[in-house]
Amino acid sequence: MSLALSSILILNKPMTAEQKSDAARLLDIAGDYLRDGYRRDREAPVFLSDPSPQERGAASVAEAAQGPDTPDAVAEAIGGCTGCQLCKTRTKAVPGEGAGQPLVLVVGEGPGADEDASGRPFVGKAGQLLDKMLASIGLFRDTNCFIANVVKCRPPGNRDPQPEEIAACAPFLARQIALLRPLVILCAGRFAAQTLLHTAEGIGRLRGRFGVYSAEYPAITDHVTLGSSGVPIPILPTYHPSALLRDETLKRPAWEDLKTLRAKLVEMDDTYARETEGLH
């Protein structure tokens, strides 16, 4: 084997990533010494045995499938997750919070600065607006809603999550959906809607129209696509509350989306229909 291992190192014996990096560094130092005695700058080594983002996502699925069937267990697993680079920059993971048997699961893109600091979803200005929007149709995070995100750790600078980050987090969201079995999923914003509906369409075309949730991870459960009503879970995309804060003209179509959501819930749940009969 060549002592110049600055880019690729192939090892037959199983080793941790840290052990392989140490071995590569030592071999590079030895090579520099034998060559001319001068240390050279090198990029971090790439190991052919390292898992791809897809493989890491598949491993996360298997791990999630083996875990206890409780939301708290999933939240604990999320808190200790190191499946992608976001674990290195987060303050706190944000598993989500809400009712154990929600009518609606609200899914956003990812935590912001306030959420990263508190470990709770949608607690900043956008979250406060979301709470008011939900309350207008009789929905509350402590009684009949659960609020979560596509990724559970804050992307630096609130950028869009990257594919490997989605791959690491997607099994957790799938597990939450399987356990919570909401009647409806409300996607807050373009990214959440595109991720759950597997589409590249913009939020302007997606909003206000129901799609159907389809689990990518059947290894987790056989009935992951079914809500508490025993039918496939409808997904309704709408604008993210932060978009409404930036552009007030979006408030009216967002209100129309909420009325569409309420009408669906009235159709699906008699108790909710009675409790919200006076709401318009």
> What digits encode the pLDDT tens for the residues 113-159?
999 999 999 999 999 999 999 999 999 999 999 999 999 999 999 99
What pLDDT sits at residue 190?
94
Query: Confidence class of residue 15 from pLDDT cuts 50, 70 and 90?
Result: low
Q: Average pLDDT in the 174-191 region?
A: 94
184 close to 265: Cβ distance less than 8 angstroms: yes
Looking only at Cα atoms, what is the longest distance across the chain? Answer: 84
Global pTM value? 0.76
For every residue of 9-57, DSSP letters joined together read: E--SS---HHHHHHHHHHHHHHHHHHHTS-----PPPEETTSPPHHHHH
For every residue of 56-100, DSSP letters joined together read: HHHHHHHHHHHS-SSHHHHHHHHHT--SSGGGGT-SS----EE-S
Tokens representing 130 are 């979301």
What pLDDT sits at residue 30?
67
